[in-house]
Structure 1
Amino acid sequence: MKNDMLKNILIWTVVATVMLSIFNHFSGQKLMGSSSQLAYSDFIDRVRDGSVSQVSIEGGTIHGVFTDGKAFTTYNPGDAGLMGDLLNNNVKVTARPPEKQSLLMQIFISWFPMLLLIAIWIFFMRSMSGGLGGKGGPMSFGKSKARMLTDDQVKVTLEDVAGADEAKEEVGEIVDFLRDPEKYQNLGGNIPRGVLMVGPPGTGKTLLAKAIAGEAKVPFFSISGSDFVEMFVGVGASRVRDMFEQAKAHSPCIIFIDEIDAVGRSRGAGMGGGNDEREQTLNQMLVEMDGFEGSEGVIVIAATNRADVLDPALLRPGRFDRQVTVGLPDVRGREQILKVHMRKVPLSDDVKPALIARGTPGFSGADLANLVNEAALFAARNNDRLVTQAHFEKAKDKILMGVERKSMVMSEEEKKLTAYHEAGHAIVGYSVPEHDPVYKVSIMPRGRALGVTMYLPEEDSYSYSKRKLESQLSSLYGGRIAEEMIFGADAVTTGASNDIMRATQIARNMVTKWGLSDKLGPLMYEEEDNGSLMGSSRNANVSGEISKEIDVEIRNFIDRNYQRAEQILTDKIDVLHAMADALMQYETIDSDQIKNLMEGKEPGEPKDWQERSGGDDSSSTPVLSDEAETPTGDTKTDLSSGDSVEGGEPKLH
């Protein structure tokens, strides 16, 4: 409020100064009609020939009027005989003394341009930085950028956090301590100084930190790790000191540092020999969290999805001595999260959060919030008053696969090739053991994918057996094998490039990381190099002989499952033709049609065929995506769910 008032005063001061200058400039000139500049010699000639009727003399400036009414202006160079000429020729003369300006006004006018530039510079600096010495101003490099929310501003409570029951239990005693610290201090107990929340993006780490402050009714300081670091050495450390000083003044309180890995990475890796700005900032943070002075009543909560790169000193007891894992929610957690976000949406009676939760494994809390929002947008586009189950399923299709590209025109030959490719994936995936059930197959272009084979896991998976991984290898090659069997080896497209990449990565991980090779045994031959700029995972300690055996074992896994997929498609060639024909006719087939085709029956129409054929832009069948191919080979989109293979490597928990 104070800054706004000062800004308004400054603006009006500048405006008033400009107006005063303009007024002073024009007030000294008395215009008599539209005057013209006249040479002094011509003026004397016109006076002597009787053409001038009257003049007004002000200092050395002469304003006059001719007998024909035209005005003029000239300047007296100091002619002593001027007055005699005027009086002898009957010219009416009026005179005014020259206006005398005060010394202060003269100084002001002479300095006005410089003062105006200074005022403009101050105005823009205050506008951009929120004040010269205020937060973010040019004179406050060392001030903390943390934003403080008072206890009445934090409206989030633990009831708003769903799907993270274990994490809520972990932070429950922090809330209890902030409410009644004497309960623990009387028994000699100390609450953890720092809590590190670790988990994938979008799982609710920031929301959980806000909920702690909302439950405890204490001030909440929020800042990002990148806000500490500047190009000037020592600024980050100064900001850390200022932040903790503010926090101590408002204790008990909570400091929340988001993405702490931006400033908390392991020391010794900088180019400055440990003296660079980021490491000095980290050193100051370590001191503030557990130094001589201490920070009683101040609890630091940090969030990151890269706890493995943090400095060990940051994780030791006395600093961030409690780690809370905030993982992806399970099916029950997803249902609870959906119910929280659905409170703001007018729902139809047919909406079933449990069914939506079952069809969204691997979704984070942010993904589910986006799903609810997209469903509401679909309802608004259709001018519906309620959000229905069909809207949620359309939203899920859009999130997983992208928007249907109805304007994209595919040739009949390309469409047929895509149909056989997707049918190959579906048939092999349906036939191999422990594979996720095939739920939908489509050759309708979506996003960057020309065709999609989708799988719906029956339940959340947290580990993968060797049998399941080999089944995934077989299904990944089903599309390429189908192309080769139907169109010949020379007609195989680049659409399987992403399948090949993912299959190769799975096979490599089975051999080098997961110990699933009978020949090489349960040893790790590769490990992730988190310090590598290129993200390399090759272990340089592996000998040339072992490296050769690794390549042979990878090839054995690939060849064995390639041959199995080829045998399945050979045995079910009639099903392959029938499924491709169904895809050519309906473009998208669902689980019931797939089951009928695999049993040798007529597929029948999809459940939503009438709706789709009537012009709707999406099916209403709940789906999960696992495959997506484009004939270009290098732009394929991986649409894996959380239980499917992502980037060639399954998530292991």
Structure 2
Amino acid sequence: MNSRNQSYIIYLLLFVAIIVMVVYNFSQRGTTSEVSINQLAEDIKQGRVSKIEENENRLRVVYKDLTEAISTKEADATLVEQLLHLGVTQEQLHPNNISIIIKPPSPWLGVITALGYILPFLILIGAFFFIFRQAQGTNNAAMSFGKSRARMFTGDHPTVTFADVAGVDEAKEELKEVVEFLREPQKFIALGARIPKGVLLVGPPGTGKTLLAKAVSGEAGVPFFSISGSEFVEMFVGVGASRVRDLFDQAKRHSPCIVFVDEIDAVGRQRGAGLGGSHDEREQTLNQLLVEMDGFDTDTNIIIMAATNRPDILDPALLRPGRFDRRVVLDRPDVRGREAILRVHVKGKPLDSDVDLSILARATPGFVGADLENLVNEAAILAARRNRKSISMAEFEEAIERVIAGPERKSRLISQEEKRIIAYHEAGHAVVMNALPEADPVQKVSIIARGMAAGYTLSLPQEDRTLMPRKKLIAEMVGLLGGRAAEELVFDDITSGAGNDLERVTQLARTMVTRLGMSEELGPMVYGQKEELIFLGREIAEQRDYSEAVAEQIDREVRRLVNEAYQKARQLLIQYRDKLDAVAQRLLEVETLSREEFEAIFPPPVPKHSGIPSMVSNN
């Protein structure tokens, strides 16, 4: 029973006690005057009394003038005996002169009387009991403050198995060893084999690290303890270490089992890098975690799994053999992986016959599992809003654009002149990209606002690419600058619409020069080393290992790359000015062009190469 229900019970008992006391008091005294038994005898002698009602020892007297009074008789004698003793004659007590009514005793009067005396004591005892329970609950909360908050899931009825995880086939193969060890540990122990005590799942957010850990537990059929790294750390010193000890004690009692620590970087950051010196609460928690992991015997049958997307900031002692000595990488899925993930998420959902998951997989490069789940959900929501009984390809295509760029904002009012500028801006992006052989094919051009963009041009690669050629990066820069070049060429003026394009181009050029060694003047070198100074979870410093002269060279090279890309975009738009005008005019008419409609106006002059996804927008 919680404290709120206990308070309700106390208040109810107090209310009942008040009611009982009020009833008891009203039963003991009335609203009429009170006369003595002697005065009552004199009134009877004078013939003033018409009726007497006797209730126990209380007398209700009704006079002939209709007034009433109350009196009390002795308990040892009857009313008639007392009246006769006081001089009242038998003739005066005759029924013709006075009516005497004797009521039987009430069965509740004794109970009410007893409650009037006992109930206050019961309420007092209940109040003391309530206060004691509250104090005991506070004491229990204080005693359980250092207990682990891990949630245990039994493996009797698994909700997630390897069949529910797609797109990470290599990771599943590695983790099958863990499942086999948990199912048949003696087979490994007999040969002297030692299964990894800790498995670290590494990958970008949304790639399915937590889901894969649950699938391991479901396949093995063993208890699964789940806790977040942030749940260990409190502001009180020693609480996190106590929770670590309690977690591992619970795991030993339920062996074999899996302990899963999500976002372990919250507690496993490198020691000595924080503001609290070497003795703060987080580092004490990490020290206890290191001790507990290294203290397991080979026959405990407990496997620690952890997930993080920042393995670079973990303490080296946490990653050494004997602790987290196996690292499973979950990367972004390729086209086959995305198709398999889509098949998992569309189970149980009605699909139209025109839905082709392979096309959707090719149209979503760079999407992780969480993105694809959100894509399917958005498509289902769109189909429901359109009162459809199934999800069609149109809903999926619209959902892709919603995930990438946000929902359409058709209600946004813009002038005809601004609409014409946006049309030429987006047409400039599309024409330049279509004219470059290294650029990705243009999939869609629209001047309908989405999210923060006034319009957008969507280009998608024909296949996934891991390596990025220099020509492809330069083509991307030229495509990003196509909107600004179109504005200057057509209107002899420029607007703020290319702000995001310029930011991306500048960053891309600087990365090519300082990180990728793609500058002919500066050569194949990396300039500037990131210095891992962790302050509130962020890197705040970059070591500058080059001189001021080199810094000037970097600035000149970045400026040269951007200017050459801009001139290239301008030359292409001058060369295909008729196509630019045709595309912009068509956008003003229909607002959105698909790939087929765009290529009907401007067929690609050269074959396209594969690359990575790109989307340019007019902010």
TM-score under structure 1 length normalisation: 0.79
d(CA) in 2 for partners of 1:340, 1:102: 70
Q: Secondary structure at the match of 1:350?
A: coil
d(CA) in 2 for partners of 1:333, 1:600: 30
Shift of 1:397: 2.2
Change (3 A) 1:118 1:579: farther
Instruction: Tell whether 2:466 aligns with 1:495.
Output: no
RMSD: 3.9
Change (3 A) 1:384 1:596: closer
Shift of 1:239: 0.7
Instruction: Tell whether 2:521 aligns with 1:526.
Output: no
Change (3 A) 1:107 1:391: same
Q: Is the 8 A contact 2:428 2:580 kept in 1?
A: yes
Shift of 1:394: 2.1
Change (3 A) 1:71 1:404: farther
Instruction: Tell whether 2:200 aligns with 1:204.
Output: no
Q: Secondary structure at the match of 2:448?
A: coil
Instruction: Tell whether 2:510 aligns with 1:508.
Output: yes
d(CA) in 1 for partners of 2:586, 2:555: 40
Instruction: Tell whether 2:153 aligns with 1:149.
Output: yes
Which ranges of 4 or more aligned residues in structure 1 deviate by more than 6 Å?
6-9, 35-40, 50-59, 61-73, 92-98, 100-104, 292-295
Q: Secondary structure at the match of 1:159?
A: helix
Q: Is the 8 A contact 1:375 1:394 kept in 2?
A: yes
Q: Is the 8 A contact 2:290 2:317 kept in 1?
A: yes
Q: Is the 8 A contact 1:198 1:323 kept in 2?
A: yes
Partner residue of 2:616? 627
Deviation per CA, 1:344-396: give whole Å up to 9, x if none: 11222222111111111111111111212222222222332222222222222
Q: Secondary structure at the match of 1:344?
A: coil
Change (3 A) 1:56 1:498: farther
Letter in 2 for 1:21: A
Q: Is the 8 A contact 2:197 2:304 kept in 1?
A: yes
Q: Secondary structure at the match of 1:29?
A: helix
Write the mapping of 1:603-618 to structure 2, written as runs, cut at 5 A. none
Q: Secondary structure at the match of 1:300?
A: strand
Instruction: Tell whether 2:430 aligns with 1:429.
Output: no
Change (3 A) 1:99 1:202: same
1:172 to 169, 176, 182: 176
1:246 to 241, 250, 256: 250
Shift of 1:480: 1.2
Partner residue of 1:555? 559
Deviation per CA, 1:465-496: give whole Å up to 9, x if none: 1111111111111111211222223xx22111
Partner residue of 2:81? none
Shift of 1:568: 1.3
Q: Secondary structure at the match of 1:452?
A: strand
Change (3 A) 1:331 1:51: farther
Segments of structure 2 that go 5 or more residues without pairing to the other structure are 71-85, 88-97, 606-611
Change (3 A) 1:599 1:241: closer
Instruction: Tell whether 2:26 aligns with 1:24.
Output: no
1:386 to 390, 399, 418: 390
Change (3 A) 1:350 1:114: same
Q: Is the 8 A contact 2:17 2:119 kept in 1?
A: no
d(CA) in 1 for partners of 2:245, 2:61: 74
Partner residue of 1:79? none
Change (3 A) 1:14 1:32: closer
Change (3 A) 1:32 1:625: farther
Shift of 1:71: 8.9
Shift of 1:234: 0.7
d(CA) in 2 for partners of 1:415, 1:177: 64
Partner residue of 1:290? 294
Aligned length: 576
Q: Is the 8 A contact 1:193 1:299 kept in 2?
A: yes
Partner residue of 1:268? 272
Shift of 1:280: 0.7
Q: Is the 8 A contact 1:400 1:625 kept in 2?
A: no
2:225 to 202, 221, 234: 221
d(CA) in 2 for partners of 1:269, 1:573: 57
Write the mapping of 1:100-499 to structure 2, written as runs, cut at 5 A. 107-110=121-124, 133=140, 137-291=141-295, 296-489=300-493, 492-499=494-501
Letter in 1 for 2:518: L
Letter in 2 for 1:514: L
Change (3 A) 1:357 1:72: farther
Letter in 1 for 2:20: N
Deviation per CA, 1:218-267: give whole Å up to 9, x if none: 11111111111111111111111111111111111000111111111001
Letter in 2 for 1:502: R
Q: Is the 8 A contact 1:526 1:537 kept in 2?
A: no
d(CA) in 2 for partners of 1:420, 1:39: 106
Instruction: Tell whether 2:601 aligns with 1:593.
Output: no
Q: Is the 8 A contact 1:263 1:278 kept in 2?
A: yes
Partner residue of 2:92? none
Change (3 A) 1:16 1:463: same
Letter in 1 for 2:25: Q
Deviation per CA, 1:100-156: give whole Å up to 9, x if none: 78997554445666655666x589x79xxxxx74xxx45411111111011113221
TM-score under structure 2 length normalisation: 0.83
Shift of 1:279: 0.7
d(CA) in 1 for partners of 2:19, 2:4: 22
Letter in 1 for 2:617: A
User: Which of the pair has more CA radius of gyration?
Assistant: 2
